[in-house]
A and B are shown apart, each in its own frame.
Chain A
Amino acid sequence: MAIISIFSGKYSGAAQIVKKLEENHGYKVIRDYDVIEACVKKFNENKEIYEKAFFNPPSVFNSFTREKEKSLSEIKAAISELLNDNQIFYGFSSLLIPRKINHVVKILTIADLQYRIQNASNLGVSEKNAKKEILQADEKAAEFSHHIKNSGPWNPSLYDMVIPMDKTTTEKAYELILSQLGNPVLQYSKESKKHIEDFRLETKVGLELCRQGFDVDVDANGNDVSLTINKKVLFLSKLKNELTNAAKIIEGVSNVETKIGQNFYKADILTDQNFSRPHKVLLVDDEVDFIQTLSERLAIRDMPSFPVSSGREALEIMDRDHPEVMVLDLKMPGVDGYEVLRKTKEISPETEIIILTGHGNENDRTRCMELGAFAYLEKPADIDILTKTMKEAYENIQKKTAQN
């Protein structure tokens, strides 16, 4: 029997269809939280990591930590193992199933805002709350879809069937899906079995390469694996060699081909993980010219960072993304460095803070060190001293983690 994948706008009426398919035809419904549970079991990680990967925007550090990509690789690996006949993948995870598996029918149910608000109201949700929930859910859906597909979630080309629920009834939509399930193209076949196996190998290779710090698209055909580089690379031939060497030792892989994708020049790629430097560095200084240039110079030294120009922004990021090392100015308009230092040590005591100030004096130094700063440097500081101090701060974190 075909596998059904359903993505829907919140309160678009998909839940009723899923329920009918489950009750009348014995389909097993796999929701995002079932996938998360499978990931937790398989990879022994906290479920929050996978919740974030599904439902939160990427961390500001993601472009260099690739945390989201790693979690999504694990989610895809879990999905590839869960895939079985008579299933309905319902939710964000439905978007992660490749289209080439031909006995998976991909369905989108959507409706206009008015219909969705009315549908929510029938479920006892007030108009105001329904509107808020719908907008939030659409925002999350758009963010997720753009991240994995580079396209909005309502793009019809992502699906085999798009059902506008405001122009039909639940009963008719249900009948339409049932009628499609009888289509011979959607029946389980040797070919579709092979595509599932290819998907499993792709997720396995993708996860292993992601763990090694590579960010490439993986395509498998039997034991042949094709790796597409879609980012800007400094030393292409070196990267190709590294990718080939890393992929060909993975069980199930015989041949590896590397290719250049159409987004080849767009962004940076990490060719390897440097374990001796912090991966999540936050720079906080109201001097924008200073902080942006410093961030560029650190990036050249293989120490990527995220610059912000106010204490308020620093605290927002601290709350959400917990940087490992923070380089912090003291005298800033609004929320000053002392307040950021004090609050950070409350919220995230493991974050190491290096004060970098132009207002240096002994009293400030003593006060900062008492508040838990790791080091106190004065502007203008030497880049080598700063990077050395940042590495020491990171070593300190690792030491503390090992002790705990």
Chain B
Amino acid sequence: MKASKEIIFSERIASSVSHELRNILAVIKENSGLLQDLIMLGKYDDSSGKLKKITDTILKQVSIGEETTTHLNKFAHLNDKDIELFSCKNELNELLGLIKRPLKQKGLDIVLNIDEDIKIEASRFFFQMTLYFIINEIIKLSEYGSKLEITFLKDKIKSQIELKTDCVLQIDIKTLENSLKENLAFMKTGLDKKENSIFLNTGRA
């Protein structure tokens, strides 16, 4: 049985977040272990600032961990309402917070031009999922260290989210659209492609 897109999306997010959390825990574990080692060796004197550096690292990692779990918690509540009016800016930021690991691994430099927010009425889960699969396609096909520029476009007629890269995108937009057709239909929207940009139509302004 082939897993549905929704399950695949949820699994990928779980994998990315658990990877992130494991790394955070590993840093905390090693630093608290080092603290313990130094205590055992009787090195309480902090004139070199070593102990402070260790505790600073632990606190920094705890803070990253808190942020990650906040993203995860919000993700777990995406389906609380089937349809609602939401901010695309918030949802995009949530998604980027959840997929920090794969973005970092590909060295993708994300540039956001999203000051002028787009608000739509749809499913937040499907919105994030659609964006995820588009970004994932870009991650797969772009070179290491590429730039991904995400821009909210609005005019009198329509609003769009543009995802533009600085490398040649070999994405077959029809295949991508086809693979996302249920999502797109659910959101009553579609995709366009022009040069190195993919446009997610988000509706009438």
Which residues of A does B touch, CB under 8 Å?
A: 286-287, 289-290, 293-294, 296-297, 300, 331-334, 336, 358-360, 378-381, 383
A185 to B27, CA, bound (A): 64
> Which 8 A-B residue pairings sit nearest by Cβ, starting from the closest?
A358-B22, A380-B26, A379-B26, A293-B30, A380-B29, A358-B23, A359-B19, A380-B25
A331 to B105, CA, bound (A): 7
Q: Does any Cβ of A come within 8 Å of B57's Cβ?
A: yes
Find B22's partner among A286, A300, A379 (CB 8 Å cutoff). Answer: A379
| Nearest-neighbor residue (CB-CB) of A294 within chain B | B30
Q: Does any Cβ of A come within 8 Å of B201's Cβ?
A: no
Q: Provide a sorted-by-A list of 10 A–B residue pairs whose CB atoms are within 8 angstroms.
A: A286-B104, A289-B61, A290-B27, A297-B34, A331-B101, A333-B104, A333-B106, A358-B19, A358-B21, A358-B26
Contacts of B20 in A (CB 8 A): 358
Of A286, A290, A336, the most chain B CB neighbours within 10 A belong to: A290
In the bound complex, do residue B30 and residue A290 qualify as a contact, i.e. CB atoms below 8 Å apart?
yes
In the bound complex, do residue B144 and residue A334 qualify as a contact, i.e. CB atoms below 8 Å apart?
yes
Q: Does any Cβ of A come within 8 Å of B41's Cβ?
A: yes
Q: Chain A: interface secondary structure?
A: loop
For residues 12 through 40 of chain B, which have their beta carbon under 8 Å from a beta carbon of chain A? 15, 18-23, 25-31, 33-34, 37
In the bound complex, do residue A287 and residue B26 qualify as a contact, i.e. CB atoms below 8 Å apart?
yes
In the bound complex, do residue B34 and residue A296 qualify as a contact, i.e. CB atoms below 8 Å apart?
yes
Contacts of B26 in A (CB 8 A): 287, 290, 358, 379-381
Contacts of B41 in A (CB 8 A): 300
Contact count A vs B, C-beta below 8 Å: 66
The distance from the CB of A266 to the nearest CB of chain B, in whole angstroms, is: 15
In the bound complex, do residue B19 and residue A331 qualify as a contact, i.e. CB atoms below 8 Å apart?
yes
The distance from the CB of B180 to the nearest CB of chain A, in whole angstroms, is: 26
Find B15's partner among A289, A290, A359 (CB 8 Å cutoff). Answer: A359
The distance from the CB of A57 to the nearest CB of chain B, in whole angstroms, is: 28
The distance from the CB of B167 to the nearest CB of chain A, in whole angstroms, is: 15
In the bound complex, do residue B25 and residue A379 qualify as a contact, i.e. CB atoms below 8 Å apart?
yes
A334 to B145, CA, bound (A): 8
Beyond A289-B27, A334-B107, 12 extra complex contacts between A and B, CB < 8 Å: A289-B31, A290-B23, A290-B27, A293-B27, A293-B30, A300-B37, A331-B19, A333-B104, A333-B105, A333-B144, A336-B105, A359-B19
A253 to B28, CA, bound (A): 52
A297 to B35, CA, bound (A): 10
A300 to B26, CA, bound (A): 18
In the bound complex, do residue A287 and residue B23 qualify as a contact, i.e. CB atoms below 8 Å apart?
yes
Find A333's partner among B18, B30, B60, B107 (CB 8 Å cutoff). Answer: B107
| Nearest-neighbor residue (CB-CB) of A287 within chain B | B23
The distance from the CB of B139 to the nearest CB of chain A, in whole angstroms, is: 12
| Nearest-neighbor residue (CB-CB) of B16 within chain A | A359
Contacts of B106 in A (CB 8 A): 333
